[in-house]
Chains A and B, each alone.
Chain A
Amino acid sequence: MKFTSDIIIGLEVHISLKTQSKLFCSCKNPSFHGKNIKANENVCNICLGYPGSKPHPNKQAVLFALKLANIIGCQIPKKLCFDRKNYFYPDLVKNFQITQDEFPIGMGGKIQIGLNEFVKLHHIHIEEDPGSMVISNNTCLIDYNRSGTPLIELVTNPVMTKPEQAREFLKKLIIILEYLNIFDRYNCTLKADANISIKETNYTRVEIKNINGFKDIEQALEFEINRQKDCVQNNETIKLETRGWDGTKTFFQRSKEEAADYGYYPENDIPPIKITEEIIKESMIDCNKDDIYYNKINNILEDFDINLEDLEIILEDKNLGEFFNEFLNKNCKYENKFNPQLVANYFRNRIIKILNQMEINFSKLNFNINNLTILIKKYLDKIIDNKINNLLLEKVLSESNFDLIKYIEENDLEQSSDDSFITDLAKKAILDNQIAVDAYKNGDLKSINFLVGVIMKNSRGKANPSTAKQILENILNK
C-alpha cells in the first residue's frame, strides 16, 4: 500500500452491545443488567460451551448490528453467516470464538467525525466476547459472566493521520452508538486496538492492544510515535509486533513476525440466515436518518445561528440535544424571543456544567422537565440572577417533585427591575463606597462593577444587575 502521510493509523474497535441477553444463550448481558453479579453465576451450558450445547443467535444483537451497518452506510450481505475463529485460551470456553469472517454484517461504510470529516471503514462484524481473567499471585482466576456477550468489531481503513483524529473518532463513535440506542457509556465497554506505522520506519506496522477510552488512545499513539522516532534515531529497528498500553507507556507483548492462523471454519451449528428487507426495516424501527448526530447538528445550523462547537457538545447527549432542539423551536424561532446562541450558552455553561459536577447523564435524571423550561426562560429574561440560577438549576435537576414556582415565590427570588427600589440601593452603595466612586469618576469605569456587586449583595440577588448598572451610571454621570 502506498501511504502519503507521515503517520498512518487504523483502529479495530470492540463495542459491547446493550442487548438484554447474551449473543447465543438467554443468560443476562452485563452490559444491560449491570455487572453486579457474583463471578461465574451468570452462565449456562451454552456460554460455558459444554459438550452437547448448541448456540442460537440473539435477534436483538443482529438487529442492533444491522441498524449500525445501515446508518453508517455499510454494504449488508444477503445472508448472516458465522464462523469459528480457533485459538486456545483459558477465557475462551470453546477454544474457538464464534465471529464473522468472510461475510461480515457490514462491508465498508464511514463514520462522520466532523462537519465535513469522515473516516472510512473496512467492515463491521458481530462476535462473542470471551470471559475475563484476573491474574494475581501467580494464579489465574477466570470469570465467565461476560462469556458469550455480544460485541461489534468495527475495523477502520488505515486512514487516520494524527493521534487526535483517533481520539475524535472514538469520541464521535460513542455518540453515534448512543444515538442509535445500542450502546451506553456507563454499562457497555468500548476497547480499541490501534495499528500505527510511520514513514521513518518504512511504515512497519505496530499494534497497540486494548486501549480503553478516547483520551488514552491519543496518549498511547503519541507515545508510540515518539518511541518509534527515538528508535530510528538510535538506529534500532522497529519490528512487526503487538504492544500493550498501561496508561503511561506502550510495552512489548509479542512479536507478529509469524502470522497467527486461526483456521476459520463456518459455524455449522448456525446455518446462514437470510437477511431480508423486512428484517432490515425492523432494525430501523426506532431510528431514522435524522437520528444521526451530524444530521441533527446540520438541521439546527440551518435554522439558527449557533457556534458549531457549542452544538457538538450539547448534542453529545441525544436526550439533552432533543430537549435543546425543542426549546429552540418553541422559543427562538417565530417569536424571536431569545437569542439562540444565549440559549446554547445556557445549555453548555450551566446545564452541562452542573451535570458534569453531578456526574450524571441527562437521560438518567429523574426530574420535571417543565421546571427546567421555566427556569431557562426566567434566567434568559433576567428575572433570575446568576447565583440563584445555579442553586435552582441543581434543585430542578436533582429533585423530581421540586415545585420551582412555589419555591421562587416563597423565597422571593425574582429579580427586581423596579427603578425606585434599585435607586435606593444605588444611593446607599454610593454613600458607603466613596473609594470606588472616586475611582470611577477618575476614569476607572470598571469600578462601577464593584458598586453593582454591592447592590446585588444588599438586594440578596433580587436586583437586576443591568438595571442597577444603568441607574448607577445615571446618578454618577450627572
Chain B
Amino acid sequence: MKEVIQEIENINNSFNYLVETIPIDENYDGDFITISIKDAILIKNSQARSSSKILNNYFPVNDSKVIKNTKDYFKNKNIKPIFIGKTIHDEFGFGGYNVNVGIDKKIPKNPYDDKRSCGGSSGGCAGFTAKTKFRHISIAESTGGSISTPASFCGVYGLTPTYGLISRDGLISYANSLDKIGIMAKDILDIAVGLEMIDGYDLNDCTNVKHENKNYVDLLNDDTKYKNNTIKIGLINLDENNQINNNVKDKIDQLKNNLDKSNIKVEIETVDISFINKYSLPVYYILSLSEASTNLSKLCGLRYGVQNIPTNLNYNDYFIKIRSENFSKETKRRIILGTFARMASYRDAYMNKAMRVRKLIIDKYLEIFNNFDFLIGPSTPTIAPLIDEIKNISPYEEMLADTYCCCPNLAGLPHISIPSGKDNNMPTGMMIISNHFTEDKLLWLSNKIK
C-alpha cells in the first residue's frame, strides 16, 4: 500500500487530479482495486465541494448510493476497494476542458502532455485513471459529455450509462434531468466491473428506473444473443478526412474482423444525424443551464459550506456577497443565462421550446435505433487543446467541445468512449451509442474491439 500512497502523491504533485485524498491503511497487503470519485459525488466524512469554493467545509453525513453499492459489491469478494480520493472537475461540471477550477487548486494537466487539457468536466477521473499503474476504477459523472470528452483526451475508457440506470442519490446536481454517474477505467473489463459495482435500484432517487442488476462482466463475452441476428452499425460524424476520423475507421475495420471471426454478421452504413447535431447543443445548454440555475440557488452561505457569520448584512445582501465572492465567472454566467431562459417573458421562446425539441431529438434517436443497434463516431472533434489556447477562446467556443457527445447525453442514451489511437501523439476517442438500457450490448460490442 505504501507504493499506492506514494504514487498518489507523485501523480497529484505533477498533474493536480485530486482535490481531496482519503486516508489509506498502509498495512493492508491483500488484493485491491483503487477507486477515485468525482468531487460532486458524496462520500461520508470527505469534504465534497463539487470543485467550488462555496462548498468549502461541506462534509456530507451519508455516502451516496453509488458508494454504498460499491461497498456492498466488494463485501463478499476477496478484493478490497480502496477509495483514494475525490477528483477535480470543472466547477459544478461547468466546462469541457477542466480549466474552470473553482477552488484554490491548479488546473489538472493531460497525462500525455502537461501543456494540454485533460478534458472536462470529469478530468481528474480520466487523468488519474490514465496515469496510475495500479488497477483503477473511477466513478465519474456526465451531464453533457463530461465522461466522453476527458476519457477521449486522456486515452481511457469512459462509460456514460442510460439516464435513470444509476442512482443519483448523493450526487451534487448540475442539471438533474441530464446528470448520469458513470465509470472510467483502463480496459473494458473494469468498465463492466465498475458498472456492476455502482448499479442497484434505488427508491430514494425517483428518476432511478426499477430494474434488476445485470452481470455485465459475464455478458461481455456472451455471443449467444447476437449469433442469429445481423448487427447493424450506423456511422456518424465521419465526413471530414482527418486523423481522428481515420482512427475511428481503423477501429471499425478491426471490429468487423473480430465479429467475422465470431461468426456474427454485421452491416455498416452511414447515418445522417444532422437534425440531432444541429439542435442538440443549443437545447442542451438552454436546459442544463436552466436546471443548474435552480440547483445552485441553495448555495448561499447558510446551513453548510462557506460562511461569513456574524454579518450585519440583510438576507439579500448576504446571499449576494457570498455568491459573488465564491462562484467562478463561468458559474455566474451559467446561472444568469439559465435564469434568463426560465423567466416568464422568455420561457416560451427558450425553455419550453428547448424541452419540445429535446423530445424530438429523443424521438429521432429512437427512430434510428429501430433500424440500428449502434451508432459509432468520434468522441470529440479535436484532440486535447493546449491550456494556453483555451484561455483565449470565447465561452461559446468552449461549449463547442461538447458538439458530439452532448447529443446522446441529451437523449439519456448510454454511450462509451474508447481509445481509438493517436493524433500528433495525443490520444483520440471513438464513441459508441446504443439504445436506452442496453449497456450489456454496448459493453459486449466494445469488448470486440481490441
A contacts, CB < 8 Å to B: 45, 48-57, 84, 86, 88-90, 93-96, 140, 259, 261, 263-266, 268-271
| Chain A residues whose C-beta falls within 8 Å of the C-beta of B290 in the assembled complex | 265
User: Of B60, B206, B297, which one neighbours A88 at CB under 8 angstroms?
Assistant: B297
Q: Would you call B206 and A96 a contact (CB within 8 A)?
A: no
B208: nearest residue on chain A (CB-CB)?
A54
Q: Would you call B176 and A263 a contact (CB within 8 A)?
A: no
With A89-B315, A268-B291 already in contact, the answer to whether A52 and B206 are too (CB < 8 A) is no
Q: Would you call A51 and B291 a contact (CB within 8 A)?
A: no
Q: Would you call B299 and A84 a contact (CB within 8 A)?
A: no
Which residues of B292-326 are within 8 A (CB) of A?
293-294, 297-300, 302-304, 315-316, 319
**Looking at the complex, which of B131-139, B147-155, B165-173, B189-197 is the stretch in contact with chain A?**
B165-173
A33 CA / B432 CA spacing, docked (Å): 53
| Chain B residues whose C-beta falls within 8 Å of the C-beta of A94 in the assembled complex | 297-298
B contacts, CB < 8 Å to A: 41-42, 48, 50, 55, 58, 60-62, 64, 168-173, 176-177, 203-207, 290-291, 293-294, 297-300, 302-304, 315-316, 319, 339, 342-344, 347, 351
- 16 CB-based A-B contacts, threshold 8 Å: A50-B61, A50-B304, A51-B48, A51-B50, A51-B173, A53-B169, A54-B204, A84-B294, A86-B297, A88-B316, A96-B297, A140-B315, A263-B339, A265-B294, A265-B342, A269-B206
Q: Would you call A90 and B302 a contact (CB within 8 A)?
A: yes
With A90-B315, A95-B300 already in contact, the answer to whether A271 and B207 are too (CB < 8 A) is yes
Q: Would you call B176 and A268 a contact (CB within 8 A)?
A: yes
A86 CA / B341 CA spacing, docked (Å): 13
A150 CA / B327 CA spacing, docked (Å): 33
Given contacts A52-B48, A52-B60, 17 further A-B contacts (CB under 8 A): A45-B60, A49-B303, A51-B42, A51-B50, A52-B42, A52-B170, A52-B172, A53-B169, A53-B170, A90-B315, A93-B298, A94-B298, A96-B297, A263-B344, A263-B347, A268-B291, A269-B207
User: Of A48, A52, A56, A264, which one neighbours B203 at CB under 8 angstroms?
Assistant: A56
Chain B nearest CB, measured from A308 CB (Å): 47
B92: nearest residue on chain A (CB-CB)?
A51
A52 CA / B44 CA spacing, docked (Å): 12
A261 CA / B342 CA spacing, docked (Å): 9
Q: Would you call A51 and B58 a contact (CB within 8 A)?
A: yes
A94 CA / B294 CA spacing, docked (Å): 9
Q: Would you call A261 and B206 a contact (CB within 8 A)?
A: no
| Chain B residues whose C-beta falls within 8 Å of the C-beta of A95 in the assembled complex | 297-298, 300
Q: Would you call B343 and A261 a contact (CB within 8 A)?
A: yes
Q: Would you call B319 and A88 a contact (CB within 8 A)?
A: yes
A266 CA / B356 CA spacing, docked (Å): 13
B207: nearest residue on chain A (CB-CB)?
A271
| Chain B residues whose C-beta falls within 8 Å of the C-beta of A51 in the assembled complex | 42, 48, 50, 55, 58, 60, 172-173, 298-299, 304
Chain A nearest CB, measured from B98 CB (Å): 20
A90: nearest residue on chain B (CB-CB)?
B315
B178: nearest residue on chain A (CB-CB)?
A268
| Chain B residues whose C-beta falls within 8 Å of the C-beta of A48 in the assembled complex | 303
| Of listed A84, A90, A268, residue having the most chain B CB within 10 A | A268
| Chain B residues whose C-beta falls within 8 Å of the C-beta of A266 in the assembled complex | 177
Q: Would you call A268 and B300 a contact (CB within 8 A)?
A: no
Chain B nearest CB, measured from A264 CB (Å): 7
B60: nearest residue on chain A (CB-CB)?
A52
| Chain B residues whose C-beta falls within 8 Å of the C-beta of A50 in the assembled complex | 58, 60-61, 303-304
A-B pairs with beta carbons under 8 A, tally: 99
With A51-B172, A54-B169, A94-B298 already in contact, the answer to whether A268 and B207 are too (CB < 8 A) is yes
| Chain A residues whose C-beta falls within 8 Å of the C-beta of B176 in the assembled complex | 268-269
A270 CA / B62 CA spacing, docked (Å): 21
| Chain B residues whose C-beta falls within 8 Å of the C-beta of A93 in the assembled complex | 298, 303
A265 CA / B206 CA spacing, docked (Å): 17
Chain A nearest CB, measured from B119 CB (Å): 24
A271 CA / B41 CA spacing, docked (Å): 22
A86 CA / B172 CA spacing, docked (Å): 18
Q: Would you call B206 and A271 a contact (CB within 8 A)?
A: yes
User: Of A49, A57, A89, A263, which one neighbours B206 at CB under 8 angstroms?
Assistant: A57
| Chain A residues whose C-beta falls within 8 Å of the C-beta of B293 in the assembled complex | 263
| Chain B residues whose C-beta falls within 8 Å of the C-beta of A53 in the assembled complex | 169-170
| Chain B residues whose C-beta falls within 8 Å of the C-beta of A55 in the assembled complex | 206
A230 CA / B60 CA spacing, docked (Å): 57
A52 CA / B50 CA spacing, docked (Å): 10
Q: Would you call B206 and A270 a contact (CB within 8 A)?
A: yes
With A95-B300, A96-B297 already in contact, the answer to whether A265 and B205 are too (CB < 8 A) is no
A96 CA / B290 CA spacing, docked (Å): 13
A271 CA / B164 CA spacing, docked (Å): 11
Chain A nearest CB, measured from B54 CB (Å): 10
| Chain A residues whose C-beta falls within 8 Å of the C-beta of B343 in the assembled complex | 261, 263
| Chain A residues whose C-beta falls within 8 Å of the C-beta of B207 in the assembled complex | 268-271
A84 CA / B41 CA spacing, docked (Å): 23
User: Of A88, A140, A259, A265, which one neighbours B300 at CB under 8 angstroms?
Assistant: A88
B175: nearest residue on chain A (CB-CB)?
A268
A90 CA / B48 CA spacing, docked (Å): 23
A54 CA / B66 CA spacing, docked (Å): 14
| Chain B residues whose C-beta falls within 8 Å of the C-beta of A140 in the assembled complex | 315
| Chain A residues whose C-beta falls within 8 Å of the C-beta of B41 in the assembled complex | 52
Chain A nearest CB, measured from B163 CB (Å): 10
Q: Would you call A45 and B315 a contact (CB within 8 A)?
A: no
| Of listed A53, A55, A93, A259, residue having the most chain B CB within 10 A | A53
Q: Would you call A52 and B303 a contact (CB within 8 A)?
A: no
Chain B nearest CB, measured from A188 CB (Å): 26
User: Of A45, A54, A56, A263, which one neighbours B294 at CB under 8 angstroms?
Assistant: A263
Chain B nearest CB, measured from A136 CB (Å): 16
A263 CA / B294 CA spacing, docked (Å): 9
| Chain B residues whose C-beta falls within 8 Å of the C-beta of A261 in the assembled complex | 343-344
A140 CA / B58 CA spacing, docked (Å): 23
A94 CA / B299 CA spacing, docked (Å): 8
Chain A nearest CB, measured from B85 CB (Å): 17
| Of listed B50, B168, B206, B347, residue having the most chain A CB within 10 A | B206
Chain A nearest CB, measured from B350 CB (Å): 11
| Chain B residues whose C-beta falls within 8 Å of the C-beta of A89 in the assembled complex | 315
A265 CA / B354 CA spacing, docked (Å): 13
A88 CA / B169 CA spacing, docked (Å): 24
Chain B nearest CB, measured from A256 CB (Å): 15
With A45-B61, A268-B177 already in contact, the answer to whether A52 and B171 are too (CB < 8 A) is yes
| Of listed B170, B297, B300, residue having the most chain A CB within 10 A | B297
Q: Would you call A52 and B169 a contact (CB within 8 A)?
A: yes
A96 CA / B294 CA spacing, docked (Å): 7
A53 CA / B170 CA spacing, docked (Å): 6
B169: nearest residue on chain A (CB-CB)?
A54
B164: nearest residue on chain A (CB-CB)?
A271
A259: nearest residue on chain B (CB-CB)?
B344
With A95-B300, A268-B207 already in contact, the answer to whether A263 and B315 are too (CB < 8 A) is no
Q: Would you call B60 and A54 a contact (CB within 8 A)?
A: no
A96 CA / B177 CA spacing, docked (Å): 17
With A45-B61, A51-B50, A263-B294 already in contact, the answer to whether A56 and B206 are too (CB < 8 A) is yes
